[in-house]
């Protein structure tokens, strides 16, 4: 995996693909609750890949977000009605300073960075996405992690009047996810608040989502309203739904197939009909940074 500390999305994306980003977001039904999209200033990160990002249109119109429907285009069609301001996150469990934290309090001293990350879906498609965010460890340190904590549990908003997919029994709402504490404290794990230099679009998990780039995309829970530190492994929605197909860890591993398809290769969204498939990289290409977290584990068993 190659990283550069001076690379931004504007350095690797043709100008024509991002100049009209506001129009693209509006056309996708993704305007935020405020009067205009907020421009975000963020430092460039040494953790960014030097691969060219997908276009804003691709990133904002091809999503899995079942709270808004099953089709890849449903989040862009329906997420515009989601109210994201005001927003707060309930933080509790084994922390020194539990409470209901407003988003403004979470962000007021957050060291925002641009992170251009590889994104690999369990369905064997991938993207390159220029997130804006900050390390999850910053927030966890802010609330004070107690010595008995071993895991971090997350929950997504439940608001069926604005999230039409929640009116069905597709999944057991709320959407839940979890990380081991050492995973959550790793510098690659971020809370994203933006995309392409603007506030995060609703269909991409506004206003606050997790991004864990070495794991399959469904681990990167969207629209977070609850974070709990616990000493027991938390429930995770897809693992609860079908543990045989979706493990708790869900690290990207080309050697462990999904029971219904191979994970050895992936289709890059937007690459073109004749581009062919790419080989999937262990830990999505982040092995040098995260492999040590799993020393001694059977990655075929703890999938």
Q: First vs last Cα of the chain: how many Å apart?
A: 22
Q: What pLDDT shows up at residue 38?
A: 60
Q: How far is CA 45 from CA 42, 193, 233, 262, in A?
A: 9, 15, 31, 33
Q: What pLDDT shows up at residue 45?
A: 87
Q: What are phi and psi of 280, to 5 degrees?
A: -80, 135
pLDDT digits over 68-104, tens only? 999 999 999 999 999 999 999 999 999 999 999 999 9
**Residue pair 268/225 in contact by the 8 Å Cβ criterion:** no
Q: What pLDDT shows up at residue 182?
A: 98
**Residue pair 102/244 in contact by the 8 Å Cβ criterion:** no
Average pLDDT in the 257-272 region? 96
Q: What pLDDT shows up at residue 8?
A: 58
- What global pTM score does this model have? 0.90
pLDDT digits over 174-206, tens only? 999 999 999 999 999 999 999 999 999 999 999
Identify the weakest region by mean pLDDT among 36-40, 119-123, 165-169.
36-40
Report d(CA 46, CA 76) in Å as an integer.
Answer: 31
Q: In the chain, what is the greatest distance between 2 CA atoms, to the nearest angstrom? A: 54
**DSSP of 225-292:** EEEEEESSPPP-HHHHH-TTTS-SS-B--TTS-BTTB--SEEEETTS-TTS--EEPPGGGGTHHHHGG
pLDDT digits over 46-70, tens only? 899 999 999 999 999 999 999 999 9
C-alpha torsion sign, points 12, 15, 16, 21: positive
Domains along the chain with CATH numbers: 3-294 (3.90.420.10)
- Burial grade of 110 (CB within 10 A; 0-12, 13-18, 19 or more): middle
Identify the weakest region by mean pLDDT among 13-17, 135-139, 212-216, 232-236.
13-17
pLDDT of 293 above 80? yes
């Amino acid at each position: 995996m190659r990283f550069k500390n001076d690379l931004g999305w504007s350095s690797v994306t043709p100008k024509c693909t991002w100049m009209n980003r506001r129009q693209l977001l509006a056309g996708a039904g993704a305007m935020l609750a405020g009067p205009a999209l907020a421009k975000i200033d963020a430092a460039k990160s040494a953790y960014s890949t030097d691969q060219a990002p997908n276009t804003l249109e691709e990133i904002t119109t091809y999503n899995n977000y079942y709270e808004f429907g099953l089709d890849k285009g449903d989040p862009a069609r329906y997420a515009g009605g989601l109210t994201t301001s005001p927003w707060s996150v309930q933080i509790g469990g084994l922390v020194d300073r539990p409470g209901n934290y407003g988003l403004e309090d979470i962000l007021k001293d957050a060291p925002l960075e641009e992170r251009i990350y590889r994104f690999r879906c369990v369905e064997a498609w991938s993207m390159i996405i220029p997130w804006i965010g900050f390390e999850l460890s910053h927030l966890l340190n802010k609330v004070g992690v107690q010595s008995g904590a071993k895991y971090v549990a997350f929950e997504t908003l439940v608001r069926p009047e604005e999230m039409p997919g929640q009116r069905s029994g597709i999944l057991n709402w709320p959407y839940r996810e979890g990380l081991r504490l050492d995973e959550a404290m790793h510098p690659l794990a971020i809370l994203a608040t933006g995309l392409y230099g603007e506030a995060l679009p609703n269909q991409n998990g506004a206003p606050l989502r997790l991004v864990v780039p070495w794991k399959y995309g469904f681990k990167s829970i969207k629209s977070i309203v609850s974070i709990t530190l616990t000493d027991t492994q938390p429930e995770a929605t897809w693992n609860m739904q079908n543990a045989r197909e979706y493990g708790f860890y869900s690290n990207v591993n080309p050697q462990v197939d999904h029971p219904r398809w191979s994970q050895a290769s992936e289709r890059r969204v937007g690459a073109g009909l004749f581009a062919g498939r790419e080989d999937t990289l262990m830990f999505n290409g982040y092995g040098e940074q995260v492999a040590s977290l799993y020393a001694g584990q059977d990655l075929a068993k703890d999938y």
